[in-house]
Chains A and B, each alone.
Chain A
């Protein structure tokens, strides 16, 4: 299967590739009043609002604040999301479905 892999907090993660729309360079996040901890903020990406998920928070990783993060954009008809990533690895083909894949 084809996956889109990235690196954060000392570990590798991946999305199913057809969920990933784009990757954007680091950009300024605007935080959401009274929001939940795992949502880091929002960005204006191509005129639309994307909620940025704090990848550290959902995977209980040690956050690295000094670093600028690329944002992996995922979208479908209901959601517009971005995930923080320290380093984007890119498209990979792996032999079969393995555990630990988060979609």
Chain B
């Protein structure tokens, strides 16, 4: 570590104590009989002495010690500090500051001059300075101890404290939006200006608090590498575990939630993906399998890819097994990756007949999926049979603010993340086309015509015990509007299918602080979280891909 760093610490410490002394002296001048300022000055001098001793600046140690002695002799005799000692205090402070500013150049010369000045000053002082040498060692070691205590500017804070502060900010944010609502009636330009200012400052405060929670992704990859190599050693599997992470920072609470899913997925790859050596050779692959973990940052999301060059998933086997064990009751014409994922993430589904020591205990991808969804993430897979499997996790870099559009259907308001909305358009009913499978928008730039669904249909409560998976719901587009009227449509991709969602009203676009759901509604998949609006009402933020 560089010396300049210590000098910097020294300087800031000195600054703090010097300003304390300055304040104390001022108080002293207003109330000379008050003994408290003397005590404070002594304490600060003591600290300066301590830190200087550690730095090896014996001249400062000497000066401060002498001054300490002087003040002590005043206090012992209960003589208030007046003109003479106060001047000396100022002299010493000036000298110390000079000394500090001179660091690290021109050290010696300046110091000698300063010390001389102070010595002279003290000798000519009206009170005899008595020097009790036996105390000195004691005092110095004490002050060094104290300095060590105060020098450590790094403190450990529990993340929950930061979370609490962030919560407090979101409360403020609600107040701010309440003010905004109020000003819609008042229409005061001044107030509007002030609200904007608050908005900006809250944003800044929020950002710096969130940045406190950020940790490099490598915090967990190092541990992962160790765990995986241990695992490979114990199972005798030979693989290359390759980690590509740039210096991506990610919310520590998100990071924590990622550990279990990552371990699960990587072990899955090793256990079920990578074939035994003979099989690999037969398939003309390198005998040693590769498992790669790549992390990329895309906007506010981290994209984590776990890729292996193993056998991939044999879709046919999976589907057969799922049908046999009644996890699914039908199959679509074409079995694509998203259907495969759907099957694999059904609750309790496992592809393995026998149980290996680690993976395949029936704790399957469903757990991975739900723990990802808990933190607002998602999972997709790309399977190529015989050649490998790629699993892509997307998680928000921070849990937090999502810019959302508030929309209304009937009496209910919900929020939709702006990032999910491709565009907003108006359309008359004549522009819809009814077919057997549903209602579609006739002309749209999308390759597939967007399916028209009303928001209230999408939000309808699930039937008891029934999943939303069965059958397409009929589409009665929108409530209580006459045929000629224009409808407001949000064009959104739901599971890659363009969808036109009919809403009754666009309310506002807002930055919402998203809080996670708690029991008993924690498991509601169509919702990312909730937020409290300016009027105090909660609003749910929809997870478009789970609708």
Residues on A with beta carbons closer than 8 Å to the beta carbon of B525? 34
Is residue B542 contacting chain A, with contact meaning CB distance below 8 A? Answer: yes
Chain A residue contacts of B530, Cβ below 8 A? 42, 49
Contact A78 B460 (CB under 8 A): no
> Which chain A residue shows the least CB distance to B536?
A44
Asked if A24 is an interface residue, CB under 8 A from chain B, the answer is: no
Within 8 A of A (CB), among B248-285: none
- Are B462 and A36 in contact, with the CB atoms below 8 A? yes
Q: Is the CB of A78 within 8 A of B519?
A: yes
The dominant DSSP class at the B interface is loop
The CA-CA distance from A37 to B462 in the complex, in Å, is 7
The 8 listed contacts between A and B (C-beta, < 8 Å) are A30-B538, A34-B468, A34-B526, A35-B461, A39-B521, A44-B538, A47-B171, A78-B519
Known A49-B538, A51-B521; further 16 A-B contacts with Cβ < 8 A: A28-B537, A30-B539, A30-B540, A31-B459, A33-B459, A33-B527, A33-B542, A35-B521, A35-B524, A39-B521, A43-B538, A44-B532, A44-B538, A78-B519, A79-B519, A81-B520
Residues of B within 8 A of A (CB): 171, 412-414, 458-464, 468, 515, 517-521, 524-527, 530, 532, 536-540, 542, 547
A91 contacts B by Cβ under 8 Å: no
Which single member of B464, B519, B536, B540 contacts A36 (CB below 8 Å)? B464
- Complex Cα distance, B518 from A39, in Å, reads 13
Q: Considering the complex, give the chain B residue whose CB is closest to the CB of A33.
A: B459
Cα–Cα distance between A93 and B487 once the two chains are bound (Å): 58
Whether the pair B537, A37 counts as a contact (CB closer than 8 A) is: no
Q: Say which residue of B464, B518, B519, B538 sits within 8 Å of A37 (CB atoms).
A: B464
Which 10 A-B residue pairs are closest in the complex by CB-CB distance? A33-B459, A34-B526, A44-B538, A33-B526, A30-B538, A51-B521, A79-B519, A34-B462, A78-B519, A44-B532
Are A31 and B412 CB-contacts (below 8 A) given A36-B462, A37-B464, A39-B521?
yes
Closest CB in chain A relative to B348 CB, distance in Å: 20
Which residue of chain B is the closest to A48 with respect to CB atoms?
A: B518
Cβ-based interface call for A87 (8 A): no
Residue contact A33 to B524, C-beta cutoff 8 Å: yes
